[in-house]
Structure 1
């Protein structure tokens, strides 16, 4: 019987807590998945089987970041990991050469199986999920403060200086939905203004830790 080695996966998201959460999910299957990169202070020189792009507080698949990963020869396959299944985003991702478009609601076993299928040469697009809980083991800034993953993402974008209109565009949400999230965030963290929210975000880990996409630019 031929032995198969675990697939190697690099994780791309600017927030350490998000990346570590995804690593924890995949870490339940160490015989099938090895995290090849988690810290941009340790440059990656080898090829990886799959680059998993987590969309938390990141541009979605209709922007340049995905093409940067697809064009890099060190990334054999590129997968988007997201809540957002807008048809235009899925189509844009396919056009850019993405090999997988996976829901953050997938249980660990299904996520690993999808990554293995991508590594084997399939293009995997999971079904658009109903609003569901994140996979067990995932994490995000503000979770301990009672913020949902989507509320946390909105606050992260506010902390990055984005307006409500920019957040709506980035997340493919209606402006009223964004405003609803903003009101909920303000209530939960006890602030009354955007300036206060930004200050709270800076003090509580909502500024990006890295620009992980940067060292994928320009080839190997």
Structure 2
């Protein structure tokens, strides 16, 4: 195999294993990309060509996590993967020095193509508007019928975030946050925040710090 077409090593980073597992499944049939590690709450332990940082429920840690990953010399290039695509947030991430900013609206083929282009030296930004009925790889709470946005709101509630903090983290209005909370509570069968926190802990909404090496 020539160097030009050598596999591109990829590490997936997010605090929720179900999220990184879902992305790995999306990319498993892409010959050029090889997922070598799924890291939850930690820097990848390998030298990798690309790190794909999924910002699901990152809360206030998001910028800190990006800076930490950028400072690790083992991570040759860093890409942020999110459905929060406001102009201000995109520019903030770019100013930190990331190599790509990708919307979760991208399908598996588009995501893989963008990652390959980033590896080859292009700074790719594809912040397309993200629809409410987005279908991404996976997320905690999906089995209970929570949408991706509802799930992120519940995950942040489980972490102790206030409605104002959720609004800032997710770039939503406070009324939108309250609407997502009401609809999520109906699906979860809870009425109070304390019940939602307990439900979240019992249903995988608590971040986990683990690192998984992927088999060749």
Same fold judged by TM-score > 0.5?
Answer: yes
What's 1:67 paired with? 67
Q: What is the deviation of 1:144? A: 0.9
- In structure 1, the gaps of 5 or more residues are 213-220
**TM norm structure 2:** 0.90
Going from structure 1 to structure 2, the CA distance change for 1:186 and 1:38 (only over 3 Å counts) comes to same
The reply to whether residue 35 of structure 1 matches residue 35 of structure 2 is yes
How many residues are paired up?
209
- Kept in 1, the 8 Å contact 2:134–2:148? The answer is no
The reply to whether residue 108 of structure 1 matches residue 108 of structure 2 is yes
Cα displacement string for residues 1-34 of structure 1 (whole angstroms, at most 9, x for unaligned residues): 94511111111100010110011111121x2111
Going from structure 1 to structure 2, the CA distance change for 1:87 and 1:15 (only over 3 Å counts) comes to same
CA distance in 2, matches of 1:71, 1:81: 18
Equivalence map 1:16-165=2 (5 Å)? 16-29=17-30, 31-39=31-39, 44-59=44-59, 63-131=63-131, 132-135=133-136, 138-165=137-164
CA distance in 1, matches of 2:140, 2:99: 28
- In structure 2, the gaps of 5 or more residues are 212-216
Q: What is the deviation of 1:127? A: 3.8
Q: CA RMSD in A?
A: 2.2
Q: What is the deviation of 1:46? A: 3.2
Cα displacement string for residues 16-73 of structure 1 (whole angstroms, at most 9, x for unaligned residues): 10110011111121x2111121156998543101100001111479722111111111
The 3-state SS of whatever aligns with 2:81 is strand
What's 1:217 paired with? none
- Kept in 2, the 8 Å contact 1:9–1:37? The answer is yes
What's 2:169 paired with? 170
- Kept in 1, the 8 Å contact 2:154–2:184? The answer is yes
The reply to whether residue 189 of structure 1 matches residue 180 of structure 2 is no
CA distance in 2, matches of 1:185, 1:87: 27
